[in-house]
Chain A
């Protein structure tokens, strides 16, 4: 009691001057101008929506990036790999049967268990009745964590895969290893010598891909391969048995993915997800660092031959009919929407489902082309034979809220009209709208409504879409729009501060248009709803498990002058200081009239969110009987969180922000970490009851996985932590099993 009172008193003193400070931070930076009279709608591409040409004069400001035609900086092509040649997609050899198509029952053969990416395992040794006996079986150290002097940009986010006698994984900096699944003993390790400078926003490696060659006979090196995309933009193939580079793949086992991207610097463009392999085509996407400049490197999606590493096709949004690699001084179109989420392959339909993000400069859309506006923040089904979209389903029109899709699509069957199963795809979004589509044509299976959205907004020449899509057939993974009475705090003092902050901002619910004269509140925020953890789905019970966030953001556009004053500059600006900022999402958006200032909607003096808890939830939805919510409760306790970042130690299930997904098993147990209380939990799939939890050595911001070895079930979680979630970083993979199966 005393202690709490003391806290409140300190808060009083600290916060006495807070409203003034809040004012200062968001002082009017310029005029937003009168509402535009332009007819709003999707796609207002205009003559100025084309990237600079080779002859465009260089920008004079010291805060501007170099010409897109400037050469790539040293170190961008990390291994100095020569260019890769092209081949005709029709010459791609017939793919051998893959482990990921039908994994052995004890395996976990792909990022999301198998080609469906359901995150469902048929293992059933661990049940709600015995889960409370789980003990650590072994711990493996990847060796990747911030060294002294390095800014903490770590969040390994890794999910190992398990095929046969090996547990294959990558470190946060892309070293690849094979472990003994029963003991955690390292069988081989392939170091790729990635430089710290190559780390973009986050050092993450979500996983590796297992591929069986049809060309290399069984028993020879590289018949079975591990493929990996790296932060420094290499596509690497190593032999699954030895870890040695596959000489027949690319240039000595590596392909330079910076080829054709034009001007860039290390850390601007990177790969963090395992590339899917569809009918022999390995498809790669990449993250382009948000908020840097309008003419950032392209978000092009490319296909390569999984056998030889040769280039097959490119899908370049602004060059829709040209699927070839650029030659000479040319490059893929700059600033196009990038895709950083894990993609899902579909061998039967010959498609890859690409969850797309936004064009570069997330919060200003007037310089985007019509073609970009059609495919941003969407699911794009690309034909892996041609690289052309077969269908597109957009989840946010003319997105200026960073509602890029972070989740991986999950493939499943929905009951159809005539009783025949319909091949479906579940696409969770940061908006908390979960779309269920027919994967043959992208048509919604569950109803989707276009509802009016605030439009046109206040930014001259950049009108918002008059409508936005809502998945009315699925329970929304969000709470209602915020109200002043939702503001929270330890005391009336910080609550009053947050109430003022709420009232000072523009807020007209979801899709509040960006503004420059004052901040606007963005809810759902850019951490979701659903983010990269995606959902898990039990095809037997029909239960979908989704964890999600309630973390609003506080955004404001700032004029170019103000952005320069704040020192916002793109990463490729020669004056850019590495390691400074970025975590809060502030960006120069060079090449547009505005920069962007983004912070969590929090009390910056206590570090507590302004809205009331919960901040994170977990929900079970019955997909077989009318998409009803079976159970839903806050996820994560207050034990490791509190004001000023102090752990309270309270077991109160307050519901914390979470990153990372779940696993559902035939044993009726859901495994999930994700929350910022650094715990892993086992939850009864049918009741939602937490039947077991354990404290991890670091933040559990990763998708867990489960497998069988020596006849017993194991559960693995990378406790790598997350810099933005402010959870402790570790390099430990922690693996649990029931007693007597340790080691």
Chain B
């Protein structure tokens, strides 16, 4: 039976925690990435950081859009890293391994976020 009014489920809590992690990573990307860009380095991090922060915020709001923003940033990350280092596993490891693991978790949150969205819609229609 859908939990319409009461407390959040464990998976919802985990989704929120994941959102917080993504916001923190995104903030680091934006701040440190801006620093790097101003030092003449790669602009990838500051660019990628913006959808990460936004995605995390939307996840906290229980919006599916958050997950898709993360997955979009992940796709951008893969394209960028292949452009930067090619198909070199050693070099793809730091660029894509962690983000992809995180991406799998984010994909798993999509049904949870959907449920949260449905619940909110229900609540709004009540």
Contact = CB atoms under 8 A, between A and B. Distances in A.
B101 interface: yes
Given A12-B24, A485-B84, A492 B98 contact: yes
Interface residues of A, number: 29
Interface string A1-22: 1001100110011011001000
Nearest to B48: A492
A492 B94 contact: yes
B28 interface: yes
Given A494-B94, A500-B36, A503-B36, A9 B41 contact: no
Nearest to A484: B41
A12 B42 contact: no
Contacts of B91: 485, 488, 612
A499 interface: yes
A670 to B, nearest CB: 25
A636 B28 CA distance: 34
Contacts of A495: 94-95
Interface in A465-517: 484-485, 488-497, 499-500, 502-504
B28 A16 contact: yes
Given A5-B101, A16-B28, A485-B85, A499 B36 contact: yes
A492 B78 CA distance: 12
Interface in A603-625: 612-613
Nearest to A493: B28
A5 B97 CA distance: 9
Nearest to A495: B94
B35 A19 contact: yes
B24 A8 contact: no
B90 A612 contact: yes
Nearest to A502: B41
Contacts, number: 77
Secondary structure class of chain A's binding surface, majority of residues: helix
B33 interface: yes
A479 to B, nearest CB: 13
Interface residues on B, range: 20 to 34
User: Which of the listed residues B21, B35, B40 has the most CB atoms from chain A within 10 Å of its own CB?
Assistant: B35
Contact of A503 (B41, B99, B102): B41
B39 A504 contact: yes
B98 A491 contact: yes
B42 A499 contact: yes
A613 B41 CA distance: 21
B95 A497 contact: no
Nearest to A1: B101
Secondary structure class of chain B's binding surface, majority of residues: helix
B32 A497 contact: yes
Given A490-B98, A492-B94, A503 B39 contact: yes
User: Which of the listed residues A5, A488, A492, A493 has the most CB atoms from chain B within 10 Å of its own CB?
Assistant: A492
A489 B94 contact: yes
Contacts of A612: 90-91
User: Which of the listed residues B29, B93, B94, B105 has the most CB atoms from chain A within 10 Å of its own CB?
Assistant: B94
A13 to B, nearest CB: 8
Interface string B15-43: 00000010011001100110110011110
User: Which of the listed residues A19, A489, A503 has the most CB atoms from chain B within 10 Å of its own CB?
Assistant: A503
Contact of A500 (B25, B39, B84, B105): B39
B41 A488 contact: no
A488 B91 CA distance: 7
A641 B80 CA distance: 29
Contacts of B45: 492, 496
Interface string B70-102: 000000010000001100001101110111011
A613 B90 CA distance: 8
Contacts of A504: 39
Contacts of B98: 4-5, 8, 490-493
Contacts of B93: 488
A500 B32 contact: yes
Contacts of A16: 24, 28
Contacts of B40: 503
User: Which of the listed residues B32, B33, B84 has the most CB atoms from chain A within 10 Å of its own CB?
Assistant: B32
A491 B33 CA distance: 14
A4 B35 CA distance: 28
Contacts of B97: 4, 490-491
Given A15-B28, A495-B95, A612-B91, 9 more contacts: A5-B98, A491-B94, A492-B77, A499-B36, A500-B32, A500-B36, A503-B39, A503-B41, A613-B90
Interface of A: 1, 4-5, 8-9, 12-13, 15-16, 19, 484-485, 488-497, 499-500, 502-504, 612-613
The 6 closest A-B pairs by CB, nearest first: A503-B39, A491-B98, A8-B98, A495-B94, A489-B94, A503-B41
16 contacts: A1-B101, A5-B98, A9-B21, A13-B24, A485-B85, A488-B93, A492-B45, A492-B77, A492-B94, A492-B98, A493-B98, A494-B94, A496-B29, A497-B32, A500-B41, A612-B91
